[in-house]
Every structure is written in structure tokens, then in C-alpha cells.
């Protein structure tokens, strides 16, 4: 058995095999009690005194340091807050200001749409000839030239799990004088990340996926330490001010990563995340990565053996795959609903991707075999071919 497996630390409903921790991690057992205490003993009893007495104001940096360890960032370089879409905007806005002579933001067509939408919004706001350029993921390196201000990529593709080589891409990008932003949404808690070693200027990510912070858990932003005192924050909220409680009429950015704070932190959500992050304290990320790949290889092998009608959409090469495996199937939406109905939870991404996430903290080899057996039953006996599985819900 792996040293990584820590099933008892999570609430996992009876009869469920959860292969969707890449989208929303399950609840760590300790969260409920911590949030309850936070509500009754802190908010309830302390009222506004909690900001100082219970350390609410320092929470975004304190929890940021816990996230920093998982992504290979030094202490004091990561801060929590807002949602990932907001952090994308913040990183992009600061990045283009570092390269004022250039007008292009480069990204790829494998990026999550919200990242591209936020870039479009920023470009619209900046005007002055700014544009967003997107190319196929495999063409990014060739598309980097000296018209580009910033390159923004998500390391692991949300649909296929294809993984960019962070260090190699960053090197090419910086050699052309562009600023590098990495989105770690499907990397933090999933693969080994060495932010410091990658030398990228900015990174962002969310915490409700592999980090198990709960629905709506705040995002994080990293700024390379040598730049943190120089970057210009576009979302200049009062909590990023050098002295919020001086209530100056003019904005002066705070020291270092503090300037990437915007407004009041989500204290209850951060309390949940802080407990969830404690589960990572003894976890060696290289060991976790090895276990994740073992589970993925087992899954692929068993699916290809027992369910040959599914077509692998993820790379075969494990060095360029994150912590998820996707298969294509035309009726993938219905098939996934039938699967979920039988306790195997994955998800579906248009147009035809059935997506499965691998999270060695609470999944083992027996879970994988059990999930494949149910998948084979659903597929080989066409159990998905029913009207009730074909009606699309709001969240797929
Ligand atoms: C999950 C995800 C998001 C979601 O952004 P929110 O603002 O947290 O809703 C954005 N970008 C990427 C790459 C993602 O994987």
C-alpha cells in the first residue's frame, strides 16, 4: 500500500468511487469541526475582534505559505483570495505592464475558456492595439516572438490532461523577452511543480480541485520574489494598500505579495482550506506523482482491455500527462450520467470527453478496478442509452 493513501481523512460516501477530485475535491473529515468552531467560537463570540484575535487578517498569507510548499514556491510569495478568473486578470494586467512596448498576449486553444475570456476583457479595456493571440498547444513555442508581452498557459489541459513542460517553455518565452504566467489549476496537488526553479514571473491556481478546499475556495497568486515589490496591481483594493487602516485617499501598493490582495478575505472558506491544507504537510509530491501515474496506467490498461469502444484522448506518454485520463465517446454525456448513477463519479466536457481524475490521497488500485468493472457494464450493455441520461444539466 502507498504511503500517500489517507482515505480515512476524507468523507467519501458509501458506494461512491470518486474520480472527479480534479474538479471538486471531497471534504476532508476535519473541515466540518473546524468550520463549526470558526463560526461559533470566532465569528459568534469574537465578532469584529476576530480580525486581530483569531488572525483572520493574516489568513491569506498564512494559507498562501501552505500552498507555496505544494508548488515549490518560497515562503511569502503566494497569497490567497478571490477566484481564479480574477487572479488570471490580475496576473495578466501586471504582466503586460512589465513589458510596455509590446501588445500581444499569447495563449493556447487548450486553455480553460475563462482564462481566455479574462484576457479578452483586459485587452478590450486596455485598447491601444492590445490583442489576444491563441495557437494550438503544440505550436506555442514556435509562436513566441518579440511582439509578445506575456504568455499565459495552463500547465495541464483541463480536457485531455496534456501537460506542458513548464521549465522548457518558460526558458523559450523569457529568451524572447516575454513574461511567463502559469495557471496551475490542474497542477497544484496533482503533479510536482517547481515554481522557483521554473523562474516564471507569475503563477495562479485554484484550491477547490486537487487541494480539496471546498466549493468556492479562494484562488492563489504567486509573484516571483524579485518582482513582487515592483509589479503594478490593476485591482488596487484597500487590502493590497501599504496601510489599509490609514485610509489614505491615494493608493500605495503594499509590500511584496501583499499588494496582490484585493478586498476582505473569505474567512470561513479559508478556515476550511487551512484544515484541508494540513493534510498535505507530510506529503512528498514526487511520491504522490508516482502513485497517481500508477493508478492512471492501471485505469488505461483495464479500460483498453475491457471497454475497447472508448478512445483515449489523453497522451500515452506519462511525462506529458497530468493527473487525469480522458476518453472520447460520442454519447459521453449519457455514458457519464449512467456511470454516476452507479456510483462512479467522473465528469463530461463538451463535445465528447469523459474525464476521470486520479487522486492518490483517497484512491487505490481496488477502486480503479471496481470503477472499470462498472464502466464496462455501462458501456458493453449500453446502459447509458436511456432518455433520462441524455438531458443536460447546468453543470456537466
Ligand atoms: C477550474 C479552472 C478555472 C475556474 O476559475 P474560477 O474563477 O475559479 O471559477 C479557471 N481556469 C482554469 C485553467 C481552470 O482549470
CA-closest candidate to residue 375, choices 360, 390, 394, 356: 356
**183 catalytic per annotation:** yes
pLDDT digits (tens, 9 = 90+) for 241-292: 999 999 999 999 999 999 999 999 999 999 999 999 999 999 999 999 999 9
d(CA 144, CA 106): 8
Cα dihedral sign, 326-329-333-338: negative
Residue 112 Cα, ligand 1 centroid: separation in angstroms?
7
What is the band of 355 on the pLDDT scale with cuts at 50, 70, 90? very high
**208 catalytic per annotation:** yes
d(CA 18, CA 312): 20
What is the band of 395 on the pLDDT scale with cuts at 50, 70, 90? confident
* Residue whose CA lies nearest to ligand 1 atom number 13: 112
Say if CB 389 and CB 337 are below 8 A apart: yes
C-alpha 212 chain-centroid distance = 11
Query: What confidence score (pLDDT) does residue 1 get?
Result: 60
Residue of 82, 157, 183, 352 marked catalytic: 183
Query: What confidence score (pLDDT) does residue 325 get?
Result: 98
For 109-142, letters b (16+ CB in 10 Å) and e give ebbbeebbebbeebbeebeeebebebeebeebbe
CB of 212 sitting under 6 A from ligand 1: no
Residue of 10, 18, 89, 112 marked catalytic: 112
CA-closest candidate to residue 78, choices 95, 66, 91: 66
| Residue in this structure with the C-alpha cell 467560537, named with its chain if needed | 41
pTM of the model: 0.97
Say if CB 346 and CB 313 are below 8 A apart: no
Whether 396 shows a pLDDT value over 90: the answer reads no
d(CA 35, CA 171): 43
Report the alpha-carbon angle 299-302-308, nearest 5: 115
CB of 154 sitting under 6 A from ligand 1: yes
Query: What percentage of the chain carries pLDDT values higher than 90?
Result: 98
Residue 150 Cα, ligand 1 centroid: separation in angstroms?
19
Mean pLDDT across the chain, nearest whole number? 97
Query: What percentage of the chain carries pLDDT values higher than 70?
Result: 100
CB of 85 sitting under 6 A from ligand 1: yes
CA-closest candidate to residue 235, choices 94, 68, 373: 94
Residue 117 Cα, ligand 1 centroid: separation in angstroms?
11
CB of 185 sitting under 6 A from ligand 1: yes
What is the band of 197 on the pLDDT scale with cuts at 50, 70, 90? very high
pLDDT digits (tens, 9 = 90+) for 292-345: 999 999 999 999 999 999 999 999 999 999 999 999 999 999 999 999 999 999
**355 catalytic per annotation:** yes
Query: What confidence score (pLDDT) does residue 186 get?
Result: 98
Query: What confidence score (pLDDT) does residue 128 get?
Result: 95
Query: What confidence score (pLDDT) does residue 205 get?
Result: 98
d(CA 92, CA 125): 12
- Residue 391 gets the label, from left (phi > 0), alpha (psi -120 to 50) or beta, of beta
How would DSSP label each residue in 112-175? -HHHHHHHHHHHHHH-TT-EEEEE-GGGHHHH--TTEEEEEEESB-TTT-BB--HHHHHHHHHH
Residue 183 Cα, ligand 1 centroid: separation in angstroms?
9
CB of 183 sitting under 6 A from ligand 1: yes
CB of 261 sitting under 6 A from ligand 1: no
* Residue whose CA lies nearest to ligand 1 atom number 3: 84
pLDDT digits (tens, 9 = 90+) for 59-112: 999 999 999 999 999 999 999 999 999 999 999 999 999 999 999 999 999 999
Amino acid at each position: 500500500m502507498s504511503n500517500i493513501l489517507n482515505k480515512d481523512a476524507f468523507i467519501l460516501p458509501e458506494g461512491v468511487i470518486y474520480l472527479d477530485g480534479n474538479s471538486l475535491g471531497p471534504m476532508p473529515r476535519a473541515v466540518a469541526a473546524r468550520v463549526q468552531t470558526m463560526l461559533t467560537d470566532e465569528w459568534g463570540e469574537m465578532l469584529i475582534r476576530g480580525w486581530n484575535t483569531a488572525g483572520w487578517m493574516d489568513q491569506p498569507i498564512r494559507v498562501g505559505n501552505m500552498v507555496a510548499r505544494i508548488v515549490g514556491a518560497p515562503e511569502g510569495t503566494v497569497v490567497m483570495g478571490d477566484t481564479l478568473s480574477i487572479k488570471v486578470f490580475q496576473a495578466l494586467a501586471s504582466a503586460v505592464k512589465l513589458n510596455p512596448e509590446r501588445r500581444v498576449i499569447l495563449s493556447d486553444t487548450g486553455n480553460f475558456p475563462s482564462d481566455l475570456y479574462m484576457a479578452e476583457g483586459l485587452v478590450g479595456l486596455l485598447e491601444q492595439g492590445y490583442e489576444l493571440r491563441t495557437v494550438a498547444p503544440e505550436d506555442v513555442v514556435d509562436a513566441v516572438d518579440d511582439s509578445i508581452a506575456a504568455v499565459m498557459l495552463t500547465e495541464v489541459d483541463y480536457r485531455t490532461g496534456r501537460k506542458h513542460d513548464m521549465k522548457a517553455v518558460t526558458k523559450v518565452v523569457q529568451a524572447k523577452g516575454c513574461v511567463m504566467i502559469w495557471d496551475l489549476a490542474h497542477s497544484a496537488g496533482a503533479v510536482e511543480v517547481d515554481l522557483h526553479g521554473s523562474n516564471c514571473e507569475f503563477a495562479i491556481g485554484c484550491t477547490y480541485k486537487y487541494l480539496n478546499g471546498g466549493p468556492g475556495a479562494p484562488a492563489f497568486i504567486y509573484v516571483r520574489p524579485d518582482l513582487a515589490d515592483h509589479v503594478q496591481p490593476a485591482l488596487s483594493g484597500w487590502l493590497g494598500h501599504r496601510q489599509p487602516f490609514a485610509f489614505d485617499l491615494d493608493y500605495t501598493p503594499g509590500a511584496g505579495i501583499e499588494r496582490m490582495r484585493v478586498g476582505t478575505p473569505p474567512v470561513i472558506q479559508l478556515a476550511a482550506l487551512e484544515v484541508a491544507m494540513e493534510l498535505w504537510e507530510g506529503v512528498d509530491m514526487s511520491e504522490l506523482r508516482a502513485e497517481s501515474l500508477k493508478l492512471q496506467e492501471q485505469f488505461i490498461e483495464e479500460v483498453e482491455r475491457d471497454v475497447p469502444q472508448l478512445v483515449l484522448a489523453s497522451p500515452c506518454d506519462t511525462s506529458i500527462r497530468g493527473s487525469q485520463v480522458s476518453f472520447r465517446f460520442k454519447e459521453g454525456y449519457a455514458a457519464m450520467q449512467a456511470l454516476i448513477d452507479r456510483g462512479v463519479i467522473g465528469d463530461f466536457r463538451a463535445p465528447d470527453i469523459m474525464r476521470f481524475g486520479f487522486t492518490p490521497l483517497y484512491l487505490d488500485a481496488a477502486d480503479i478496478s471496481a470503477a472499470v468493472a462498472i464502466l464496462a457494464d455501462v458501456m458493453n450493455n449500453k446502459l447509458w442509452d436511456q432518455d433520462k441520461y441524455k438531458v443536460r444539466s447546468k453543470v456537466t
